[in-house]
């Protein structure tokens, strides 16, 4: 099929040019080549399968990790004019799910989580369809979450085979060489049969900074001082749901900013409401756990603050990449106090079962349930892993997570260029003439001595962040569903 992609981009989607990597990836897909695409946050990954589906008229199956992300993408596709789009999520009640499954052949774009695809009834219905493109969105989750958190990610290779080995597109914003190989292996693909399009993770318009604080009290006060003065919308990330809520209350009362919390413990409607408030400019700051951000297409976020230490550099780069998507200056701040490392170590211990618990459950398999705490162990037991094999899997996961945490702490204490330290993790380098020493990291300038000046100079609010409210219903819709890409 001969397609003029540039012409189609303009006529079908209204864009004058592709972003880096997009056209090459689409050419691969139209040449029926399985493709692994590593595009930076804001690089326009969603357009790839939207455009392929629109031009090929084939059915597209998208595996996505979060309900909020699926709902957001379904809304965007509907806004762009596609009515044949649906998300199979746990938010559906029994009757809604039954109706959708009965009429599944009427949809062109079908979203589902790995857990939903593990449901025999759902997979049976999808198998009856002709899937033209199988998409794994946020594909790094296969490697990062599969072994010890969401094991159904490890079944996606079998799902792909069950669907007749359709053309496959794997997408994420960050992935090391090891993670890329993990993705390919778990989808039962051969490296030689996968085209890899890997763009640099460097975002030169994001200034990198970190501050080591003496304790919790100093950290809290620093956060209040920053929020009082930093310009523009921002996201503050926490490892704790309760701390996110507590901080939102504190910042709302002690600053003039409009702040709300967002985390996975909230119900779907509440999360969606907060997300739309933020997108529409009716909220200035969201205090969030990592549940917030995937798929958020708000281009004028000016800063991302990490109140707690992220689990790894890969997650950190993904999360700070949510600011400055309009290519204007953005600011990444990591606040650290020594106890933060132990919080992450506790999270690792609580996530990965120890040998004694594993041994007890293997000896008493009736105690295994689908509850969160035992779900992962049950997966390995049901799939025929011996006790020693399961122990080896979890030991490896623990070692990997501790190694990733060590790299994250090393970044905080690094006394050289922070950008170099981040890029080294992804086997990337920058030459000196590729750097802008005036806008790189707090190693090059005295950021913490003059951060207010930096704020006034670089973090300028876009017009839509100031006191602007759309008037016509067209503008209201555009504000609610910002056109992706």
Average pLDDT, stretch 141-166?
94
Tokens 């701040």 sit on residue: 333
CA dihedral sign of residues 255, 256, 257, 260: positive
Residue 50: HSE in the Cβ half-sphere, 13 Å Cα cutoff: 23
Q: What are phi and psi of 123, to 5 degrees?
A: -65, -40
Confidence (pLDDT) at 460: 78
pLDDT band at 80 (very low <50, low <70, confident <90, very high): confident
Whether 206-341+414-480 and 5-198 are alike in CATH topology: the answer is: yes
Model confidence at 299: pLDDT above 60: yes
Q: Quick one: residue 21, left, alpha or beta (phi over 0 = left, psi -120 to 50 = alpha)?
A: left
Average pLDDT score over residue span 347-375: 88
Tell me which fold the domain 206-341+414-480 belongs to.
Rossmann fold (3.40.50)
Domain parsing of the chain, residue ranges: 5-198, 206-341+414-480, 352-405
**What's the average model confidence in pLDDT over 264-271?**
82
Lowest mean pLDDT among 104-108, 136-140, 369-373: 369-373
pTM: 0.89
- pLDDT, one tens digit per residue, over 352-364 is 999 999 999 999 9
pLDDT (0 to 100) of residue 461: 65
pLDDT, tens digit (0-9, with 9 covering 90-100), for 1-32: 578 999 999 998 889 999 999 999 999 999 99
Number of C-beta neighbours around residue 478 at 10 A: 13
When pLDDT is averaged across residues 280-301 and rounded to a whole number, the result is 86
Structure tokens at 77: 């596709």
Per-residue confidence (pLDDT) for residue 372, from 0 to 100 = 67
475 pLDDT above the threshold of 70: no
Give how far Cα 403 sits from Cα of 76, 173, 176, 407, Å.
38, 21, 14, 6
Per-residue confidence band for 266, with pLDDT thresholds at 50, 70 and 90: confident
Query: pLDDT (tens digit, 9 = 90+) per residue, 460-474?
Result: 765 554 544 444 555
Count of Cβ atoms closer than 10 Å to residue 381 Cβ: 18
Domain spanning 5-198, CATH architecture? 3-Layer(aba) Sandwich (3.40)
What is the share, in percent, of the chain residues with pLDDT greater than 70?
A: 93
Query: For a pLDDT cut of 90, what percent of the chain falls above it?
Result: 76
pLDDT, one tens digit per residue, over 48-71 is 999 999 999 999 999 999 887 887
Residue 335 has pLDDT above 90, yes or no: yes
């Amino acid at each position: 099929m001969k397609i003029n992609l540039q012409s189609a981009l303009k006529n079908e989607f209204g864009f004058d040019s592709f972003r880096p990597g997009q056209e090459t990836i689409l050419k691969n897909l139209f040449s029926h080549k399985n493709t692994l695409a590593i595009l930076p946050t804001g690089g326009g990954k969603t357009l790839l399968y939207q455009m392929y589906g629109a031009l090929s008229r084939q059915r597209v199956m998208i595996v996505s990790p979060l309900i909020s992300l699926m709902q957001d993408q379904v809304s965007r596709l509907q806004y762009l004019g596609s009515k044949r789009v649906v998300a199979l999520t746990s938010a559906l009640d029994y009757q809604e799910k039954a109706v959708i499954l009965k009429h599944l052949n009427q949809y062109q774009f079908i979203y589902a989580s790995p857990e939903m695809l593990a449901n025999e009834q759902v997979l049976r219905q999808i198998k009856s369809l002709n899937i033209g493109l199988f998409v794994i969105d946020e594909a790094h989750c296969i490697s990062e979450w599969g072994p010890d958190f969401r094991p159904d990610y490890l079944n996606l290779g079998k799902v792909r085979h069950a669907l007749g080995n359709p053309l496959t597109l794997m997408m994420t914003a960050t992935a090391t060489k090891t993670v890329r190989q993990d993705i390919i292996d778990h989808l039962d693909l051969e490296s030689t049969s996968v085209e890899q399009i890997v763009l640099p993770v460097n975002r030169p318009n994001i200034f990198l900074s970190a501050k080591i604080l003496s304790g919790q009290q100093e950290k809290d006060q620093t956060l209040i001082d920053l929020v009082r003065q930093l310009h523009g919308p921002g996201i503050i990330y926490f490892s704790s749901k309760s701390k996110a809520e507590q901080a939102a209350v504190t910042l709302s009362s002690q600053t003039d900013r409009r702040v709300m919390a967002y985390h996975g413990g909230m119900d779907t409607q509440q999360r969606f409401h907060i997300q739309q408030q933020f997108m529409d400019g009716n909220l200035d700051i969201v205090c969030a756990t990592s549940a917030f951000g995937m798929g958020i297409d708000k281009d004028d976020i000016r800063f991302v603050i990490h109140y707690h230490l992220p689990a790894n550099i890969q997650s950190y780069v993904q999360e700070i990449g949510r600011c400055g998507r309009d290519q204007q200056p953005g600011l990444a701040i990591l606040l650290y106090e020594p106890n933060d490392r132990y919080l992450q170590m506790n999270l690792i211990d609580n996530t990965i079962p120890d040998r004694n618990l594993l041994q007890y459950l293997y000896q008493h398999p009736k105690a295994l349930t689908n509850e969160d705490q035992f779900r992962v162990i049950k997966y390995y037991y049901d799939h025929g892993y011996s006790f020693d094999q399961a122990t080896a899997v979890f030991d490896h996961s623990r070692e990997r997570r501790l190694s990733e945490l060590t790299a994250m702490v090393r970044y905080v204490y690094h006394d050289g260029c922070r950008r170099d330290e981040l890029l080294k993790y992804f086997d990337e380098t920058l030459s000196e003439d590729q750097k802008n020493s005036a806008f790189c990291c707090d190693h090059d300038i005295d950021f913490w001595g003059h951060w207010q000046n930096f704020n006034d100079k670089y973090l300028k609010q876009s017009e839509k962040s100031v006191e602007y409210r759309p008037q016509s219903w067209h503008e209201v819709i555009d504000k609610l569903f910002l056109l992706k890409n």
